[in-house]
Amino acid sequence: MNPVAWQRFLQLPMPSRHDVDWRHLDLRALRLERVEKRTQPARVTFRGQPPTGVIFGKLSGHRTEANRFLGKAIAWENRHKFVALHEALWEDGAVVLVPKNCRVTDPLEIHYELPNHDSAAFPRTLIVLEPGAEATVVQKYTGAPSLQAGATELFVQPGAHLHYISLHQLAPTSFDFLIKRARVAQDAEIDWVIGMFGAALGRYDIECEMEGRGGSSFMYGVGLGAGQEQLAQFTHQHHRSGDTTSDLLFKNVLRDRAVSSYTGTIRVEKNCNGTNAYQSNRNLVLSREVQCDTRPVLEIESNQLRCTHGATVGRLDDNQMFYLRSRGLNEAQARQILIEAFLEPVLARIRVDTVRREFEELIRQKIIR
Amino acid sequence: MTDTFEIRDLHVSVEDKPILKGVNLVVPKGQVHALMGPNGSGKSTLANTILGHPKYTVTRGDIRMKGESILEWDTDERARRGLFLAFQYPCEVPGVRVSNFLRMACNARAGRELDVMEFYEKLEEKMKKLDMDERWVKRYLNEGFSGGEKKRNEILQMLMLEPEFAVMDETDSGLDIDALKIVAHGVNELRGPNIGILIITHYERILRYIQPDAVHILVDGRIVKSGDADLATHLEQHGYDWITKEVVA
Ligand SMILES: Nc1ncnc2c1ncn2[C@@H]1O[C@H](COP(=O)(O)OP(=O)(O)OP(=O)(O)O)[C@@H](O)[C@H]1O
Ligand SMILES: [Mg+2]
């Protein structure tokens, strides 16, 4: 255990609806009292055949190589209570380290099967692409723990190219807190697709830090909420260097009495001219009981840059429904087509066919049924 | 008269405002009728009502296909049973590819999963007829299509779905002369004993290529005059004024 982080965890108050970041969210079902005693490691399975030289496996087996990076992508202070909890209690997880100029063609998959029932897990993932390296990494989280507080640190070094797909699908009784932060160096690129497909409450902090000229991040997300699930997304596009690009599209489909809140921050430091930062959050609401909230936050200190942001909350379009049905598609088919069409721009970013199909299947099961 | 499409004393309101005020019209299978009339007279209202658009409420009268009232049928059931509307303003559906959409629609119309190869062969044949290349069907449904391209895409759907009764709502508006000829050619090939067609138009031009068996004029929610193809020529030259006067008188 990390005693400093543990103290921080103890001192931070339990978030409440009065905190702007947690408004609309209800944490009452989460019982934290005995978390420390209930910690169970996640079962991690690895799939994919990396070439020699690539480190791919449990973090505990590669601590020497990992230590140079571990903990250095995320600034741990001033985070919410569950990030502190992760930092205090994490023990193991997975690591991918691709050496300089190495191109991994096979997707590398890390699957966390989280312990079920009355338990908590704190997996840490470290992904490092050294200069000029290329890889596709797929991360999956499944299971039904009472609590997961996880973190993923991503380093994309100069000229490297990472395609990163992450799929979160926990039981509707699980509380899921994840933070992911990528540091993107000069001429490096990260293409993200994050699927947030279920939890009693899922809070996802997805962040990129643009540190070198020519770097780019294309951050795509799809969130689904059904029943009384709560989904909170916090994205952070942080430009520390000029001539960098961060693009972002988060699309959510919400039904029943789901609650969702999106907060997207674009931060551009001084002397970051030539920055391109785009942010778009689109929500498709399928029932009147859904609560949906979206908020952009712009902190911009350079002036020669391009920055746009936009958000929408909408229903299925009556005219489109009529058009499809006038061609013989029944109501369920027409809805399915429109929902899939809505998500298409995000799903199209998944470059691993099997994973794309898995996303589509989960969407069908959860939203279209 | 069982193999006809029949509109009887049809009254339709939009948001409680009466638009159609007793329309009577019979289109037997094998015939092409034209419906003309000034802007706002209710032509598209009639077209949308035939397909059961939820905004349009039938307050009186009936619509019958082959002797059966269709009013209780959902929009998709009407389509599966052979009704078709080529929209005046086809809507854009980004994210849905034309080919995928057409395949689902054809399956729905057939009531079974069609053989994929067969489907694509038919699609290719119809596209050739309409002078469309294969890039077309890979695009998203109507997204970014020009006005004329949208209209042509409606006719492609009509040729693929082989309806028993079709309404074409101002398909000719926005088509250049070459496109109009191509579309007319496609419609003429579909024409035959198994289909009735109602062409809504403002211009006699399209009727030169698709000869109508009858022409009807809709003014203020009623059909005020019916005649043969010459009526369209007369309208083209004299406008609607004389009709309104004739009706009032
Ligand atoms: N969805 C609607 N909502 C409100 N009003 C409508 C709607 N559809 C039709 N109307 C009204 O009904 C009347 C008839 O409209 P309609 O579109 O049927 O005319 P039209 O004969 O097709 O005209 P055009 O030649 O311009 O296409 C108009 O006054 C129109 O404003
Ligand atoms: Mg009209």
The model's pLDDT over B7-44, given as tens digits with 9 standing for 90+, comes to 999 999 999 999 999 999 999 999 999 999 999 999 99
What one-letter code names the amino acid at B73?
W
Please list every residue in chain B whose beta carbon sits closer than 8 Å to the beta carbon of residue A319. Answer: 91
| φ, ψ dihedrals at A106, nearest 5° | -70, 135
Residue to test with chain B: of A249, A253, A327, most B Cβ within 10 A: A327
* Domains of chain B from N-terminus onward: 4-248 (3.40.50.300)
Burial bucket for residue A77 (CB in 10 Å: 0-12, 13-18, 19+): exposed
**If pLDDT is split at 50, 70 and 90, which confidence band does B137 have?**
confident
pLDDT of amino acid B244: 73
B237 lines ligand 1 (CB under 6 A): no
Task: Tell me which of B12, B41, B44 to substitute to probe ligand 1's pocket, judged by most ligand atoms within 8 Å of the beta carbon.
Answer: B44
**ipTM rounded to 2 decimals:** 0.95
Q: Is residue A81 part of a domain?
A: yes
pLDDT, residue A33, reads: 72
Tell me which residue in A331, A333, A345 faces B104 most closely, judged by beta carbons.
A333
* Residue A46 is assigned to a structural domain of this protein: yes
Q: Are A111 and A142 in contact (CB under 8 A)?
A: yes
Q: Average pLDDT in the B59-84 region?
A: 96
Chain A nearest C-alpha distance from B81 (Å):
9
How far away, in angstroms, is B170 Cα from ligand 2 center?
7
Ordered DSSP codes for B28-97: ETT-EEEEE--TTSSHHHHHHHHTT-TTEEEEEEEEEETTEE-TTS-HHHHHHTTEEEE-SSPPPEEEEE
Q: Per-residue pLDDT for B249 more than 60?
A: no
DSSP assignment of A88-131: HH---EEEEEE-TT-B--SPEEEEEEEEEEEEEE--EEEEEE-T
The answer to whether residue A328 is domain-embedded is: no
The domain of A297 spans 3-316
Q: How many domains does chain A have?
A: 1
| Dist. CA A46–CA A58, nearest whole Å | 9
Q: Which of B93, B107, B139, B161 to mutate to test the interface with A (most CBs of A within 10 A)?
A: B93
List the pLDDT tens digit at each of the 369 positions of chain A. 899 999 999 999 999 888 888 888 899 888 777 665 667 777 899 999 999 999 999 999 999 999 999 999 999 988 999 999 999 999 899 999 999 999 999 999 999 999 877 789 999 999 999 999 999 999 999 999 999 999 999 999 999 999 999 999 999 999 999 999 999 999 999 999 999 999 999 999 999 999 999 999 999 999 999 999 999 999 999 999 999 999 999 999 999 999 999 999 999 999 999 999 999 999 999 999 999 999 999 999 988 999 999 999 999 999 999 999 999 999 999 999 999 999 999 999 999 999 999 999 999 999 887
Residues of A in contact with B87 (CB under 8 A): 323, 326
